[in-house]
Amino acid sequence: MPDIKPLRLQVQARIRKLELLSSSGLWILALFTALSIGAYRKFAFLPTLNDAIRSLLGSGPPVNFINWALVLYAFSAIIMVLTQMTGSKRPRGALSHFGYLSVFYTFYHFSDGLTENFWAVFTIGMTILSLQSYHVWNYYKEKVREEEEILAELNKLAEE
């Protein structure tokens, strides 16, 4: 009978990796919370842009346009995450959601609409990222359970 100790070690390493991945959604949530605190303080911790760069960038888009873009984004992002959940697909796109939300904060900031719309972006960001992290947690916990079953079988074999 071949030695199954290296195989057991491999499975244990995989379990550790999957457990680490299962909490990755929470890290993104924490990152978004930190970004939101910065946005709430109107990014005061960042250096102000000088006039040359500001004029190069041009004026920000109208707040109304950003609002409609946010509605579209929110609707499609929720549908996308729910579709991933129902299909039990590998969770993807948490970082890109974080990126999109950061862009919304930036656009509102440059269009002087951040104070009015901060809570809208924060709420939808928390919703999308909470759903995403719930899916990440469920998906990787399921994988961990599968690996634990394999490990239990291997342990039985080793005892025999």
Binding of other proteins at residue 82 (CB under 8 A)? yes
- The smaller minimum CB distance to other proteins, of residues 116 and 149, is found at 116
CA distance 135 to 86: 10
- Give the one residue of 34, 71, 152, 157 binding other proteins; rule: CB under 8 A: 71
Question: Integer distance in angstroms from the first to the last C-alpha of the chain?
Answer: 11
Binding of other proteins at residue 109 (CB under 8 A)? no
Task: For residue 15, give every residue at least 6 positions away whose Cβ sits within 8 Å of its Cβ, in sequence order, or none.
Answer: 144, 147, 148, 151
With the C-alpha atoms ordered 7, 151, 23, 69, is the resulting torsion angle positive or negative?
A: positive
Beta carbon of residue 133, minimum distance to other proteins (angstroms, whole number) = 10
Binding of other proteins at residue 55 (CB under 8 A)? no
**Residue pointed to by tokens 């999957």:** 18
* Residue ranges binding other proteins (CB under 8 A): 63-64, 67, 70-71, 74-75, 78, 81-82, 85, 116-117, 119-120, 123-124, 126-128, 130-131, 134-135, 138
